[in-house]
């Protein structure tokens, strides 16, 4: 369901399976949250493989985005799925650090690596 790596100071989390099962979303959120807290990355890129770009996975990504924003981390998403990208854009929380959405993983990682030092924690 989930794999991760650290590339260029960026935590890259790949969601590789269908996450549409009712109990998969909370488990997925918990796993990604644990990775973020363990690695303390400069930024996070979540890669949604084609089969994983479901409504529940998108909802989980949006929750992770809010959590990362609270931690002052830039969050990016890479997915080939145009419907998932549109859903993410339409539902991203605009009151926090912007969710960056890409079609290509390599572009998401490179952009996150360049932007991470510029991100500041929002004032409370």
Residue 102's CB: how many other CB atoms inside 10 A?
Answer: 20
Q: What is the pLDDT of residues 33-75, one digit of tens each?
A: 999 999 888 899 999 998 888 888 999 999 999 999 999 899 9
Query: Are 74 and 119 within 8 A, CB to CB?
Result: yes
CB 59, CB 53: distance < 8 Å: no
pTM: 0.87
- Would you state the pLDDT for residue 26? 85
Q: pLDDT confidence of 97, banded at 50, 70, 90? A: confident
Residue percentage of the chain with pLDDT more than 90: 61
pLDDT value for 24: 80
Which distant-in-sequence residues (6+ apart) come within 8 Å of 124 by Cβ? none
């Amino acid at each position: 369901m989930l794999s991760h790596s650290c590339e260029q100071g960026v935590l890259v989390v790949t969601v590789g399976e269908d996450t549409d099962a009712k109990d998969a979303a909370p488990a997925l959120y918990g796993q990604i949250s644990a990775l973020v807290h363990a690695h303390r990355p400069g930024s996070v890129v979540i890669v949604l493989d084609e089969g994983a770009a479901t409504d529940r996975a998108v909802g989980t990504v949006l929750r992770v985005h809010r959590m990362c924003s609270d931690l002052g981390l830039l969050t990016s998403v890479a997915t080939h799925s145009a419907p998932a990208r549109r859903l993410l854009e339409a539902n991203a929380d605009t009151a926090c650090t912007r969710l960056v959405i890409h079609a290509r993983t390599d572009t998401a990682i490179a952009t996150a690596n360049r932007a991470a030092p510029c991100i500041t924690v929002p004032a409370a």
